[in-house]
Amino acid sequence: MADSGPPPNFIRDIIEKDLKDNKNEGRVHTRFPPEPNGYLHIGHAKSICLNFGLAAEYRGLCNLRFDDTNPSKEEVEYVESIKYDVRWLGFDWENREYYASDYFEQLYQYAIQLIKGGKAYVCSLSADEIREYRGTLTEPGKDSPYRERSIEESLDMFVCMRKGEFPDGSHVLRAKIDMASPNLNMRDPVIYRIMKASHHRTGDKWCIYPMYDFAHGLSDSIEGITHSICTLEFEDHRPLYDWFLDQLDVFHSQQIEFARLNLGYTVMSKRKLLGLVEEGFMTGWDDPRMPTISGLRRRGYTPESIRDFCERIGVAKKESTVDITLLEHCLREDLNQRAPRVMAVLRPLRLVIDNYPERKMEELDAVNNPEDSSMGSRKIPFSRVLYIEREDFREIPPKKWFRLSPGSEVRLKHAYYITCGDVVKENQTGEIIELHCTYDPESRGGWTKDERKVKGTLHWVSAAHSLKTEVRLYDHLFSKADPDNVEEGSDFKTFLNPNSSETLTSCRIEQSLKNAKPGSRYQFMRQGYFCVDSVDSSHDTLVFNRTATLRDTWAKIEKAQKKTEK
RNA sequence: UGGGGUGUAGCCAAGCGGUAAGGCAGCGGCCUUUGGAGCCGCCAUUCGGAGGUUCGAAUCCUCCCGCCCCAGCCA
């Protein structure tokens, strides 16, 4: 048995059985069918990876098909963003870019066929009445008084519906199935409604639009889709999906349902994400805190890490909420191999090396990535006045602290050993404003002949040779792991994390970053992975987004210490 | 109290009648010019519960329980 490759799942099992039975002449053809009514999010990425992945794995094809049957919610802006995102994720639909709206004429003919066969009728009940007639979960519905309208009359009226002779909502076309079915979807579902709205692709050509259940399965059939993969909530729709294909006697795609992705500390519904954008809680769909593909991209996530994540979470029918740490792990694993290391000081503390000559500047060698020697090295300037991270100094060092403190010796990465002397404080506030240290000239490069142990290694930048920059630190969008789980009358926005974004404006980065490209990713040593914000960076000032932190062992130790003190 | 699904570790997830994979998280240790990375080890005598069938059950049968979805002219 193959012990490599993607892990098994129930959909692969189905496909393999179909292949074995030579169903569909051995073809595997899937599709990714977004509705262009919002931006794609990481949940869609799961579906995209699944559909395109399966097609690639079984030498099949995957179409990109926009499910654009409701012009009141759909826009070209969304189709453009969706195409961009799917491509960015690394998938190619070649020339198979389709739209349900491409099939409107064909779908209309299918509807005519149903009417002629006595399988559909024009119903003139109001929306409210249709709801009343539908019955409830426990009681059967009752037949519409229009159910036995003659085929000729329905046909005539449907043609008039298309011609625009009736106002919105006055009539609908319904499938004639069974008003007593325990499955509400089978109680004479509406398949066409009158909607005098302009469509982003067909303009004003149509004023009747097909409903999802009718359009989707038939679009699958038209495209020869063998495995139509969708999410769990459509399970109840499968009998209807099958019914249309059977009545019309057309190519029968197989609908397969899987559990959608949920992630902790965020929300995944397009409606909720739209709300956050429209109500100004987010700067846009691409706010780096959003779980959208555009948000993750701007945040610094790589397509590779997202694909890896989608493969690792698996595919099953159990509703699940994946731990956000898995996504972060995938990102770190990818960037650890590929991101150049660089030094940046987020909260600068001035440090003067008293025994280092005033005007001297030397260039020290710094390896770009210890994981990959092919990435080479660069020179970084060192001088008498530096900045180090404010939190790397403690006047009173706690246990196991091996960063800087009065009298202690630490290593400045790639540079020298320094020992801390005087601590200069601001008179009024007592705030530490400057540190005075001495360096050991024998420790150039960061080691000495005597091989004495220096446990702490700090990152730093030269004050005169560094660039001022803005850095944005991000945290979970919500402070609650399951923000969807709200009490009656409350709102998921109550759980928005007030600290999900923090902007630091006086950061310093090494000058090698001067021409860093928008979107490029770096590891700020000892801190995390950051990427150049592609929206707010300017020629004067680069803006960095923190994608993910590095694992912080000291924070863990300190937390444990505080816990035992209690 | 209708119908459709689903329960394996804190979170995912394999398993398909032969005696509980793997990943994340967590916890120890080693190593380290990033307290990063890496490496080593630990982490389910038991699969929602109770019965039953079987030499043998997470896998088959029965009953029970929990959770999710469905009453748009949304998708």
Q: Which residues contact A35 (CB under 8 A, 6 or more apart)?
A: A66, A67, A68, A70, A73, A74
Nucleotide of closest approach to A68 (CA, C1'): B75
Task: Give pLDDT, residue A4.
Answer: 52
- CA/C1' separation A311–B20 (Å): 23
A252-269 average pLDDT score? 98
- Alpha-carbon span A492 to A409, nearest angstrom: 50
pLDDT in tens, A204-245: 999 999 999 999 999 999 999 999 999 999 999 999 999 999
Looking up tokens 């769909």, which residue turns up?
A285
Q: Residue A87 is which amino acid?
A: R
Of all residues in chain A, what percent carry a pLDDT higher than 90?
95
User: Looking at residues A259-273, what average pLDDT do you find?
Assistant: 97
The angle at the Cα of A435, spanning A429 to A441, to the nearest 5 degrees, equals: 180
Please identify which residue in the block is written with the tokens 């937390």. Answer: A559
Residue A516's identity, in one-letter code, is A
Find the mean pLDDT for residues A461-465: 98
How many Å apart are CA A401 and CA A398, to the nearest integer?
6
Nucleotide closest in space to A130 (CA vs C1'): B73
Say how far apart CA A103 and CA A10 lie, in whole Å. Answer: 31
Local structure of A241: helix, strand or coil: helix
* Band of pLDDT at residue A145, cut at 50, 70 and 90: very high
Strand partners, A457: A411
Q: Is the CB of A298 under 7 A from strand B?
A: no
pLDDT in the model for residue A3: 42
A562 exposure class (CB count in 10 Å sphere: 0-12, 13-18, 19+)? exposed
Helix (H) or strand (E) segment spanning residue A262: strand A261-263
Residues of A annotated catalytic, as ranges? 35, 260, 270
- Does the model's ipTM exceed the 0.90 cut? yes
Q: Using alpha carbons, select from A6, A557, A40, A112 the residue that is nearest to residue A286.
A: A40
Give distance CA A254 / C1' B60 (Å).
Answer: 28
pLDDT at A81: 98
| Pairing outcome for strands A432-440 and A348-353 | parallel
Question: How much of chain A, in percent, has pLDDT values that exceed 70?
Answer: 99
C-alpha to C-alpha distance for A471 and A532, rounded to whole angstroms: 9
Could you tell me which of A483, A409, A479 has the C-alpha nearest to residue A450? A409
Q: Separation of CA A524 and C1' B30 in angstroms?
A: 26
Query: How far apart are alpha carbons A257 and A236 in whole angstroms?
Result: 10
Strand partners, A522: A530
Task: Give A363-413 as a DSSP string.
Answer: EEEEES-TT-GGG-EEEEEEESEEEEEGGGB-SSPPTT--SB-TT-EEEET
Alpha carbon distance A377, A368 (integer Å): 5
Flag whether pLDDT at A153 surpasses 50: yes
- Listed as ranges, the nucleotides of chain B within 7 A of a protein C-beta are 1-8, 10-16, 21-25, 27-28, 33-38, 67-75
Cα gap A197→A76, rounded to integer Å: 15
| Alpha-carbon distances, residue A289 vs A265, A303, A363, A548 (angstroms) | 11, 17, 38, 11
Q: Among A213, A31, A200, A247, which residue's Cα sits nearest to residue A102?
A: A200
> Which of residues 172 to 201 on A have a Cβ less than 7 angstroms from any strand B atom?
172, 182-185, 189-190, 193-195
Asked whether residue A415 carries a pLDDT value surpassing 90, the answer given is: yes
pTM for the complete prediction? 0.96
pLDDT digits (tens, 9 = 90+) for A7-49: 899 999 999 999 999 999 999 999 999 999 999 999 999 999 9
A553 CA → B9 C1’, Å: 25
Q: Give the pLDDT band (50/70/90) at residue A565.
A: confident
Provide long-range contacts, Cβ within 8 A and 24+ apart, for A107-113. A107/A210, A107/A214, A107/A215, A107/A218, A107/A219, A108/A162, A108/A208, A110/A214, A110/A218, A110/A244, A110/A248, A110/A250, A111/A158, A111/A173, A111/A191, A111/A192, A111/A210, A111/A214, A112/A155, A112/A158, A113/A248
Structure-token pair, residue A19:
């292949």
Task: Specify the DSSP class assigned to residue A298.
Answer: H
CB-strand contact A126/B, under 7 Å: yes
Lookup: nucleotide whose C1' is closest to A181 CA: B3
Alpha-carbon torsion A87, A322, A550, A372, what sign? negative
Give the CA A138 to C1' B61 distance in Å: 30
Nucleotide nearest to A209 (CA to C1'): B73
A79-98 residues near strand B (Cβ < 7 Å): none
Q: What is the mean pLDDT of residues A304-312?
A: 98
What pLDDT band is residue A566 in, cutting at 50, 70 and 90? low
The amino acid occupying position A96 is R
Strand A97-99 relative to strand A61-66, pairing: parallel
Residue among A118, A213, A123 nearest A174 (CA): A123
Instruction: Give A529 CA → B69 C1' in Å.
Output: 39
Q: Which nucleotide is nearest to A313 (CA to C1')?
A: B12
- pLDDT average, residue stretch A160-178: 98
Its sign, for the CA torsion A527, A529, A535, A537, is positive
Average pLDDT estimate for A168-187: 98
In A 323-382, which Cβ lie closer than 7 Å to strand B?
A: 323, 325-326, 329, 332-333, 336, 341, 369-371
A413 touches strand B (CB under 7 A): yes
pLDDT of residue A306: 98
Report residues 388-407 of A contacting strand B, contact meaning Cβ closer than 7 Å: 400-403
- How far, in Å, CA of A334 to CA of A205, rounded? 49
The distance (Å) linking the CA of A152 with the C1' of B27 is: 75
Q: Are A31 and A60 in contact (CB under 8 A)?
A: no
Q: Which pair of structure tokens corresponds to residue A344?
A: 């940046």
The three-class DSSP label of residue A516 is coil
DSSP E strand boundaries for A162-233: 172-175, 190-194, 208-210, 227-231
Instruction: Provide the token pair at A225.
Output: 């889709």
